[in-house]
Structure 1
Amino acid sequence: MARLHLLALIAAGLPSALTLPSNIPVKIAVEGNQKRQYTTPEDRAQAVVDTFKLSWEGYYKYAFPNDELKPVTNGFSNSSLTDVRNKWGASAVDALSTALVMGEKEIVNQIISYIPSIDFSQTSTSVSLFETTIRYLGAMISGYDFLKGPLASLADNKADVDALLTQSINLANNLSYAFDTASGVPWNNLIFSNRSNDGSDNGLATVGTLILEWVRLADLSGNSTYATLVEKAESYLLNPSPASSEPFPGLLGMNISPLTGEFQDAVGGWIGGADSYYEYLIKMYIYDPSRYATYRDAWITAAESTIQYLTSHPTSRPDLTFVAAFDGTTLRLRSQHLACFDGGNFILAGQTLGAQQYTAYGLALVDGCHETYARTATRIGPEQFRWDPSSVPDNQTSFYNASGFYITDPSYSLRPEVMESYYYAYRATSDTKYRDWAWEAFVAVNATTRVGSGYSSIKDVNVVGGGGFTDFQESFWFAEVLKYSYLIQTGEDEEWQVGGGGRDGWVFNTEAHPVKVFGGSEKRGIV
């Protein structure tokens, strides 16, 4: 099996549209000094597997069982740049579902033999209900669904598989006091040592991105309380108050009081802090159409308002389509890498609902986010960008005129959202250009972020070489970037592939952990 030794991959013979920056080497070195042509999906998928294994080996050697690898210094971290992960082995747990779909049995067993040892009641740092749910709970439930189902042969010890559900229950039980509020809207930032919280308001995404994982846990465990808690919290989002917090039908503000359940503002969009609330509306309908038809209706309302009110075309590139943010009914012509999941979500909804208008809109959004990659020096998109013609910096005028956006935060934190939308675009259309775009992005990221014992976030995507490393390898590098990069190139008949039309058999949580959709033969959860 080929192992990557240089900083980049390059596919000889790719179409000229995939011309890469000049700083990327033309070849890669592999075992035996044999040159490899990365022109087939199979070879590209294998290259992603090799990158996953290289990343895992660095983490396992220098950081495990801590949360993250610091690849430049061969050290470890127990917090990301913005959120704590609680020293429970975030990268290991987050890597599980990717190791499973790649069939990496040795890594799978390294992870599942570790998970039973985690004490989810103990941590010296505050706990994010949202981050812990999407990473740890989502990963363990996904692993359980896989290892009790189509990938059961990958587990050496069946007791480790059972422990995935047991540990999911343990974790949820420790988190559940967050919902002990006057309204039922939970606190997000928890202090386990005295079962308290930091007293701050919660957010649209952090309340609205719990329901898939907790409902799945209810259905697997037979304890409907887990579903009841998150459904009550979600009810405040489906019926927002005050009316001013919904400036456009279905589009909501971002800050919510756990004391009253009321929204505190009318600022939002398909951006960080709001994004995955909209994502989960259609995904809950996919999970169980009979229970969550109202979630589908809420997604459609938000989608129609997005198309009607938030669609924006840069003055310098009217051919591009972006989704604006909003403050009340005032549009803010700005977006971010995080928001580039939106194209994929519209495409998934279009395929699920048989509504071509949503698929077409999503594909237009994918084209816009592709441009944020294609126009930078590294061929990687920036963390934040704008297209407001009244505030273009003098030093980016030419860039804006050519690109249709200008950069306001040039960093790249190993984010997956553009790759995610490429995946859904390919699944819906079978157009190989999306595979090529995903490969191009993978090559560019591999070239620019590879350092030391792994891959690191970088400081400036518009500087050749990335402008320096932050010495931090995010856990979602394993969970999302490498999973989407792999799945877009690999077998289309695998049951966990999604987005091909109709109701899928699996649905991905916002951390890209595949969860099996609800089936009529499953228990529905009885306390």
Structure 2
Amino acid sequence: MSLHRRGFSSRRVLVAIAFSFALCILYYTHLRNTQSDPLPELIPEEDVVFWPTEPPEIWAERAVQVKNAFLHAYHGYERYAFPHDELTPLSNASTNSFNKWGVTAVDSLDTMLLMGLKDEYERALPMIMNTNFSLPANTAVPFFETVIRYLGGLLSAYALSNDTRLLTKADELGAKLLPAFNTESGFPVYAVNTYEGVESGPPVGMLAEIASWQLEYSYLGKITGKEEYAERATLITDLFYNANLTFSGGMYPTKWDLTSGEPYDLHLSVGAAADSAHEYTLKQYLLTAQTDKENLEMYIRMTTHVINNLMFISPQRHLVYVTDMSTYKLEDTRVTHHFEHLSCFFPGLLALGVKMLPLDDLESVGINVEELTRDLLPRDRGGYEALSEFNLTDLHLWAAEAIAQTCYITYADQPTGLGPETVSMRAGGKFGITRWMSAVRAWDRQGRRGPPPGVGDKLPWSEPPGLVSTKERDRATVTRDYGVRNIAYYLRPETVESFYMLWRVTGDVRWRYRGWHVFQAIEREAKTSSGYACVDRVHMKVPVLLDSMPSYFLAETLKYLYLLFLDEDIVPLDRWVFNTEAHPLPVFAWTPEESVAYGITEEHLPSAVS
């Protein structure tokens, strides 16, 4: 049959071809003009995932299952390891990695109280009350770990139970650790000899270790009325606030000189050695009834720099991740594209800020953006202007949801269903390395079709069948957009912590289901006869168990899962603040008298008090 008989003429065909050619020229001209920023080719529609609606009884039963998991782990600890620090769940023995003071028992106290486990709580108290915090001579305890696990555990249990015996022990421990601050700058040193009352450690401190104790010492100062505790927290805030952060975009670098009190390097990260320090900027502001303006400013600086410079999107699956970078010279900045499990706390922190802060009206809480950026380089000041194009509340929530989804995908992609400690994200593709904000701006220019980049649901990756050669496996890794760098899951809480925060902030059931998937994987892969073990080779169908059950598994991972599955909000985020070990502390406000006694300046107080 000829074209003419079907209603076409050669003239019409030529016109159609010419018209199509013109459309192609217009399209590619437009595409080129709208891609001044690098962008993955075209962000496709996301996978459609239908999340069922289940009755409250189902989630209540799942919370009970988490409670039973806690009981299994803690009873194994009681049987084989108590009163030592941690259970070794394969050999059914114990280890003393944290001071020999029974860290698992202390770390678990508030979880017991929240779960209503009175018998376990009462059995732990005598050992805790009889603990001698003065170790033999020449034995030092790590300041940071002791504060977040022991001091935080005691303070939270006191706040939940009102048992003054716990307050007495917290006061005793807080005083024993004070020699850590005997440095020239006032930053705490790595370790304290609680027997001789002297500090020890290198002259350079890691950010997380020198800046993750303000919550605990502020609250201890409030409930004891002791000046020496509260003024330490005030001093450390002032040290950070007045430090020279010009070349780090207003964000804290990872290493600090304990003598001068100034940054030692220009390595920026929200992962290992840095994470909880950034966390405590927002949380110190919230704990003190939203009165600590200096810490709020530092939180806004940090999140702005991270969103602009440390968040990237992978080229094929469009997985959004946060990574680290180092600046060796002003024009020599190197990005690793490593994505750590430890960084998966960050989406939860962003979500908490979305709930608690007027991000689109920061002037109402005394934040002036011009003052924030006055001491920054022009390139970093421009970052604030770039974010001002968007509703900041929306932007922070998109960032939170996108990173949290990538955290989940790194779990769901593995045969075990457990997330590896570190992955190396694929950077590049047709348009080179792409920062997330570049993709967001391009999405905005193109009419906001579909969800923001990386935010829509994604399905887990599955290995194509029949792969044999290394080359084929490498190709499969590329389609996954990352390679597994550290293949172990250490029973860490950060991912489910963010799921919990996002669930409470958004009410979106997908975060509960993702948490449920993680819990099922833990039950299936990590459970032993006496507890739960860290899991190695999570990327293989037959993993290997490690003989370790960290105390934070009971203090954090199981606590956040339990709270995620409860319908009742028993720890409201506007009344309680979780420390970095998931120990909730109650919000409080300094009185005018306390502000004078503790040297708290107007920057730390609301206008009504100052």
- TM-score over 0.5 (shorter chain): yes
| Cα drift, residue 200 of structure 1 | 4.1
2:370 maps to 1:357: no
2:513 maps to 1:436: yes
Conservation of the 8 A alpha-carbon contact between 2:415 and 2:540: yes
| Cα drift, residue 122 of structure 1 | 1.5
Give the one of 553, 569, 576 matched to 1:506. Answer: 576
CA distance in 2 between counterparts of 1:222 and 1:302 reads 32
Pair 1:17–1:481, CA change in 2 (3 A)? farther
| Cα drift, residue 272 of structure 1 | 1.0
Conservation of the 8 A alpha-carbon contact between 2:203 and 2:259: no
Letter of the 1:103 partner, please give it.
G
2:65 maps to 1:51: no
Aligned to 1:326: 325
Give the one of 143, 161, 169 matched to 1:167. Answer: 169
Name the SS for the 1:40 alignment partner.
helix
Name the SS for the 1:307 alignment partner.
helix
Name the SS for the 1:134 alignment partner.
helix
Aligned to 1:473: 549
Give the one of 337, 340, 351 matched to 2:341. Answer: 337
Letter of the 2:81 partner, please give it.
A
Pair 1:72–1:17, CA change in 2 (3 A)? farther
Is 190-199 or 161-170 further displaced after alignment? 190-199
Q: How do residues 49-128 of structure 1 correspond to structure 2 at under 5 angstroms? A: 49-79=67-97, 85-122=98-135, 125-128=139-142
Give the one of 210, 215, 223 matched to 2:213. Answer: 210
Pair 1:38–1:251, CA change in 2 (3 A)? same
| Cα drift, residue 16 of structure 1 | 8.9
Conservation of the 8 A alpha-carbon contact between 2:487 and 2:538: yes
Conservation of the 8 A alpha-carbon contact between 1:341 and 1:418: yes
CA distance in 2 between counterparts of 1:375 and 1:398 reads 16
Name the SS for the 1:190 alignment partner.
strand
Name the SS for the 2:577 alignment partner.
strand
Name the SS for the 2:339 alignment partner.
strand
Conservation of the 8 A alpha-carbon contact between 1:321 and 1:364: yes
CA distance in 2 between counterparts of 1:458 and 1:394 reads 27
CA distance in 1 between counterparts of 2:534 and 2:118 reads 28
Aligned to 1:368: 406
Conservation of the 8 A alpha-carbon contact between 2:426 and 2:481: no
Is 324-333 or 296-305 further displaced after alignment? 324-333
Deviation track 1:340-359 (CA, whole Å, cap 9, x = no partner) reads 00110001001111433212
Name the SS for the 1:270 alignment partner.
coil
CA distance in 2 between counterparts of 1:174 and 1:53 reads 32
2:462 maps to 1:463: no
The runs of 5 or more residues in structure 2 that have no matched partner are 1-47, 328-332, 359-392, 430-469, 599-610
Aligned to 2:156: 142
CA distance in 2 between counterparts of 1:397 and 1:71 reads 35
Conservation of the 8 A alpha-carbon contact between 1:144 and 1:165: yes
Conservation of the 8 A alpha-carbon contact between 1:316 and 1:400: no
Conservation of the 8 A alpha-carbon contact between 1:348 and 1:359: no
Letter of the 1:325 partner, please give it.
D
Q: How do residues 145-160 of structure 1 correspond to structure 2 at under 5 angstroms? A: 145-148=159-162
Letter of the 1:77 partner, please give it.
T
Conservation of the 8 A alpha-carbon contact between 2:237 and 2:295: no
Deviation track 1:324-347 (CA, whole Å, cap 9, x = no partner) reads 211123322112111100110001
Is 291-300 or 395-404 further displaced after alignment? 395-404
Conservation of the 8 A alpha-carbon contact between 1:220 and 1:523: no
Deviation track 1:150-208 (CA, whole Å, cap 9, x = no partner) reads xxxxxxxxxxx212111111111111011011111111123334424033421111111
After TM superposition, the score normalised by the length of structure 1 is 0.84
CA distance in 2 between counterparts of 1:214 and 1:399 reads 50
Q: How do residues 237-252 of structure 1 correspond to structure 2 at under 5 angstroms? A: 237-241=240-244, 243-244=246-247, 246=248, 249-252=249-252
| Cα drift, residue 452 of structure 1 | 2.7
Task: Give % identity.
Answer: 30
Conservation of the 8 A alpha-carbon contact between 1:351 and 1:359: no
CA distance in 1 between counterparts of 2:217 and 2:480 reads 42
| Cα drift, residue 262 of structure 1 | 1.8
CA distance in 2 between counterparts of 1:70 and 1:522 reads 49
Aligned to 1:33: none
| Cα drift, residue 401 of structure 1 | 2.8
After TM superposition, the score normalised by the length of structure 2 is 0.73
CA distance in 1 between counterparts of 2:569 and 2:122 reads 25
CA distance in 2 between counterparts of 1:309 and 1:192 reads 42
CA distance in 1 between counterparts of 2:489 and 2:128 reads 30
2:572 maps to 1:497: yes
CA distance in 1 between counterparts of 2:224 and 2:540 reads 50
CA RMSD of aligned residues (A): 2.5
Conservation of the 8 A alpha-carbon contact between 1:204 and 1:253: yes
Is 61-70 or 177-186 further displaced after alignment? 177-186
| Cα drift, residue 236 of structure 1 | 2.7
CA distance in 2 between counterparts of 1:48 and 1:352 reads 28
Aligned to 1:22: none
Pair 1:264–1:399, CA change in 2 (3 A)? farther
CA distance in 1 between counterparts of 2:520 and 2:57 reads 13
Conservation of the 8 A alpha-carbon contact between 1:186 and 1:233: no
CA distance in 2 between counterparts of 1:523 and 1:426 reads 39
Q: How do residues 256-271 of structure 1 correspond to structure 2 at under 5 angstroms? A: 256-271=256-271
Name the SS for the 1:507 alignment partner.
strand
| Cα drift, residue 224 of structure 1 | 2.2
Pair 1:398–1:377, CA change in 2 (3 A)? farther
Aligned to 1:29: none
CA distance in 2 between counterparts of 1:332 and 1:276 reads 20
Conservation of the 8 A alpha-carbon contact between 1:314 and 1:387: yes
| Cα drift, residue 390 of structure 1 | 7.5
CA distance in 2 between counterparts of 1:394 and 1:120 reads 56
| Cα drift, residue 229 of structure 1 | 1.6
| Cα drift, residue 71 of structure 1 | 1.0
Pair 1:125–1:442, CA change in 2 (3 A)? farther
Pair 1:465–1:52, CA change in 2 (3 A)? farther
The runs of 5 or more residues in structure 1 that have no matched partner are 1-14, 19-36, 80-84, 149-160, 499-503
| Cα drift, residue 488 of structure 1 | 0.5
| Cα drift, residue 233 of structure 1 | 2.6
Conservation of the 8 A alpha-carbon contact between 1:126 and 1:191: yes
CA distance in 1 between counterparts of 2:355 and 2:103 reads 33
| Cα drift, residue 307 of structure 1 | 1.1
Which one has a bigger Cα radius of gyration? Answer: 2
| Cα drift, residue 110 of structure 1 | 1.7
Pair 1:17–1:469, CA change in 2 (3 A)? farther
Conservation of the 8 A alpha-carbon contact between 1:457 and 1:470: yes
2:521 maps to 1:411: no
CA distance in 1 between counterparts of 2:290 and 2:311 reads 32
Name the SS for the 1:76 alignment partner.
strand
